[in-house]
Structure 1
Amino acid sequence: MENKTSSWSDQWGTGVFDNEEKDLEKPNNKSNNKKMEQMKAAASTGLVKAKSAAVVGAHKVKKGTSTGVKWIKNKLSK
């Protein structure tokens, strides 16, 4: 009952999967590099916008909290 097909361990390093590994190791062509650069630029722009929105939101929260604490102090002092 011997199996005619080779096992995974038998195939390892024998060149059966070498073509697949080489495909993964190939450098990207120029169009893929260009697409990646565009995606990185768009992501970086989005990150800058998100960061600035977070900073503005933090300032609003800080100002609102300060105003609220002052209001409470004024109400309690009366």
Structure 2
Amino acid sequence: MGSHGNSWADQWGSQNDVVDDHGSKGKNGGGGSGGKKMEKVTAVASASFGKAKSAAAVGADKAKAAAVVGAKKVKSGTSLGFKWIKEKCQKK
């Protein structure tokens, strides 16, 4: 590549320079309206998380019920299989 032109840091400035929504440049961690925006985002995210959590709980209950039914079917099928094998072995 060589030393042609400016480096990435020279072109884009340092990481501490931040441009806010109004186009003004400031330093990182500079308060402003960013805190209020973050509060709104956090509130929306927590509401969405609550909905997702309740949906997951309902899904988990359904999965548990399906697993119980499946386990009962496996148990009865296994029992029938052993009885069949026992009958075949005793007939000889």
Q: Same fold (TM over 0.5)?
A: yes
Q: Which has the higher contact order (CA 8 A, sep 6+)?
A: 2
CA gap 1:5/1:16 in 2 versus in 1, 3 angstroms: farther
CA deviation string 1:20-72 (max 9, x = no partner): xx68xx3412x442222111101111011111101210121011111111111
**How many correspondences in the alignment?**
71
The letter for the 1-side match of 2:6 is: N
Give matches, 1:29-44, under 5 Å. Answer: 29=43, 31-44=44-57
1:11 paired with 2:14, answer: yes
Equivalents in 1 of 2:8, 2:61: separation in Å?
55
Name the TM-score, length of structure 1 as normaliser: 0.66
Greater strand share, structure number? 2
User: Identity percentage over the alignment?
Assistant: 40
**RMSD across aligned C-alpha pairs, in angstroms?**
3.1
When Rg is computed on C-alpha atoms for both structures, the one with the higher figure is 2
Structure 2 match to 1:53: 66
Equivalents in 2 of 1:77, 1:34: separation in Å?
64
Greater helix share, structure number? 1
Deviation at 1:2, TM superposition (A): 4.3
| Long gaps (5+) in structure 1 | none
